[in-house]
Amino acid sequence: MCKQETRRIAEEQGFINAHKHESQDICFVQNGKYCDFIEEYTGKKYDKGPFVDTDGNILGSHNGIIRYTVGQRKGLGLALNEPMYVRSIDAENNTVVLGRDSQLYSDTLTAKNINLISVPRIRGVMHLKAKIRYRQEAQWASVTQPDSDTLSVVFDKPQRAITGGQAVVLYDGDVVVGGGTIE
């Protein structure tokens, strides 16, 4: 069903939000401060820790790992000799690893907790389009299913900032094949 059709049905049913402005934010985080919400909701405090480069050299201090995302450049609060980006987050050691933009690219990912929709299983190799973020244009990739709950995705071209914990969604034309959580 298209969005317009859903809105028409909502209007016919008298729903007050039938013509509500669309939002890309999380509706229950009223002030836009996601980190404050997460800390309050979980009861867990995310302490400051080190920013390090890919060689482990300390570059400065971060304000808690939940305040950063892979690929981020702005808002780090560091003055460095060159642009640096969040390359990875090591929750176990409370460390945020920074690197150059060129170090953010990879052509492979593994996904777990998979949900296949249009096929019961991926047999052999399927050449599909894959999205790793909401606003990204889907990219061609070769997809295999090594076991019942794992997808292996190899992109035709390296992708920037593949991020663990995010979703990968697979498409065959307009059909959603399925997806999973990036490891």
| Confidence tier at 24 by pLDDT (50, 70, 90) | low
Domains of the chain: 34-99 (2.30.30.280), 104-182 (2.40.30.10)
Q: What is the pLDDT of residue 16?
A: 85
Say if CB 144 and CB 122 are below 8 A apart.
yes
Q: Is the pLDDT of residue 54 over 90?
A: yes
Residue from 48, 68, 47 nearest 58 by CA: 48
Q: Is the pLDDT of residue 27 over 80?
A: no
Picking from 11-20, 46-55, 96-105, 146-155, which range would have the lowest pLDDT averaged per residue?
Answer: 11-20
Q: What is the pLDDT of residue 29?
A: 74
Q: What is the pLDDT of residue 129?
A: 98
Picking from 11-20, 55-64, 85-94, 157-166, which range would have the lowest pLDDT averaged per residue?
Answer: 11-20
Q: What is the pLDDT of residue 88?
A: 94
What whole-number percentage of the chain has pLDDT above 90? 77
| Confidence tier at 3 by pLDDT (50, 70, 90) | confident
Q: Is the pLDDT of residue 6 over 70?
A: yes
| Confidence tier at 23 by pLDDT (50, 70, 90) | low
Beta strands of the chain (E only): which ranges? 49-52, 58-62, 85-90, 95-99, 105-116, 126-131, 139-147, 150-160, 167-172, 175-182
Q: Is the pLDDT of residue 160 over 80?
A: yes
